[in-house]
Structure 1
Amino acid sequence: MRKNTSGPRFKALLEAANISTTGFAKFWGTEAQNVHNWYTRGVPAYRMEEVSRLLSVNSEWLKTGEGHKESPRLHAPASNGDTFDAQSVRGVYTVIDPNDIDLVFFNEKPLTDTGKTHVIEDTDQSIRLLRAQLDQLEIKHSDAICARMIGNSMAERIEDGSIVAIDRGLTQVVDGEIYAIEHDGMLRIKYLHRMPGNGLRLRSHNSAEYPDEIFRAAQLDEQRIHILGWVFWWSTLSKRRPVVPFL
């Protein structure tokens, strides 16, 4: 495994973009000291992809200094003749027809021999949403992903097994909105509220069974709590098929 030597490159990228340590930490929702530590220890592996995407560089180059610095430019032709530049929109998406967008699916998957999980793309699944719906909410098509609700903590608003759509472009917390987070490899869907000192409150719709969880800023980093994005759509199936009387 190649050693993570990303610290100096990460620092140089911020300096080139005229982004201060404090400014990046505020945007990321963490303490400036945590970001400062990355200058020497390197960007954490579980945040490498997102930091690379945010700074428009190749994650392998950021991690090891090898390969091309720039992110690969991927072009996906749409059926209506449009061509979309993945570099400019920070991702890859597929246009099925002029009215639909095919969103990539992310799932919580087990890590080999660790007993833990992580959230990664599932290439065997996708879901279509209306292009107009994303445009109405000013969501970049490449920022929209899907995942599945696990558990009943958000019942009866979002039932277990529902599919949710997530805007990765909105990670700043707006109190009372629903967000998808990755918590030490677990995919969780919660109402979020800001707390003093850059802390965070996680609230479940099913609050009778799942009390509020409050994390200080240091705990967010220690427990690898990372906001994936704002949940803007979900599908919920009925729990049972109704019985038709008098048959």
Structure 2
Amino acid sequence: MNLSERIKLARKNAGLTQSGLAETVGIAQTAISQLESGKTLRSSYLIQIARACRVNSIWLASGEGEMLSPEDISTYLSSELDEILRGEHEDDAALNNALRERLEEVRNASRFVSANTLLTKEIPYLVELDDPTDPSRTVVEISVNLHLDLNDEVLLKQDVQPEHVVAVAISGNSMAPVLQDGSTVVAHMLETQVVDGRMYVLNHGGQIRVKSLYRLPGGGIRVRSYNTAEHPDESYSSREMDEAQIRIMGRVFWGASFY
């Protein structure tokens, strides 16, 4: 089943018209029509569409898993039950038959999922290791042992692939109070072009640093900490970046802090 077929199935099961779904999501009806016809093959509104249709966003985007996630099932069945109870039935037997038939339809559609269906990806950590050629230095490597379990919806929302993503543990107070010592951030390694004010992971001569960056003329950068009282801005020209072995590893798009 392709994306267009999944969107159409989700919409119909939610009892929505194309215009109704579009209004709920906040996009044009033509956008839904193009998705369902296959003229458009992707959308940045898939999570919103999934929520409007009460379906699993991972299933909607990729076809993996089941149409309903565990948390959706109780909401779905509750609404179905309310609809049937509000209907007109000749007697209790007719009501029971209506309930039984609807539940059988749900089972036949294979919408029940186990309790452990919450999908995550193992995101490897960037770590500092001793340089085998110089014990006084460190090198930045992707760990083969340490990983972060990150919900698939975070990656889906950012439109990034797990093989291009790394996690970093914050050390020190330079990014406090936003990111305390021991916090974790996740970065997309394919985004290395600086957008002023965004946060990036740096490899600074074998040391991992997480900083806000600003462009300077000639290809240089300004490195900024949130805790400017203790960590003032640093500026590097393009030549100085090469000399200091500063490399932008990727843009930070997710973080978790502790207080």
Q: Would you say same fold, with TM above 0.5?
A: yes
Match of 1:206 among 227, 241, 248: 227
Ranges in structure 1 where 5+ consecutive residues have no aligned partner: 1-78, 81-95, 239-247
The answer to whether the 8 Å contact 1:140/1:169 transfers is no
- 2:180 is the alignment partner of 1:159: yes
The structure with more helix, counted as a fraction of residues: 2
> What is the alpha-carbon distance in structure 2 between the residues aligned to residue 105 and residue 200 of structure 1?
25
Q: Which moved more, 1:209-218 or 1:117-126?
A: 117-126
Which residues of structure 2 form unaligned runs of 5+? Answer: 1-63, 66-115
CA contact (8 A) 1:107 1:147 kept: yes
- Residues of 1 paired with 2:122 and 2:145: CA distance? 13
Please tell me whether Structure 1 or Structure 2 has the larger radius of gyration of its CA atoms: 2
- The corresponding residue for 2:164 is 143
| Alpha-carbon distance between aligned partners in 2 of 1:117 and 1:214, rounded to the nearest angstrom | 23
Aligned Cα root-mean-square deviation (Å): 2.2
Distance 1:110 1:124 in 2: 16
> Within 1, Cα distance between the matches of 2:157 and 2:217?
33
For 1:169 and 1:200, locate their aligned partners in 2 and report how far apart those are by CA, in whole Å.
18
CA contact (8 A) 1:153 1:205 kept: yes
Once the two structures are superposed, the pairs formed by residues 28-177 of structure 1 within 5 Å of their partners are 99-112=119-132, 113-177=134-198
| AA in 1 matched with 2:131 | L
CA distance in 1, matches of 2:229, 2:219: 26
Q: Tell me, what secondary structure is at the counterpart of 2:126?
A: strand
Q: Secondary structure at the match of 1:116?
A: strand
Is 2:197 the partner of 1:197?
no
Equivalent residue pairs, number: 147
Match of 2:250 in 1: 229
Secondary structure of residue in 1 paired with 2:135: coil
Task: Among all aligned residue pairs of Structure 1 and Structure 2, give the percentage whose two residues are the same amino acid.
Answer: 33
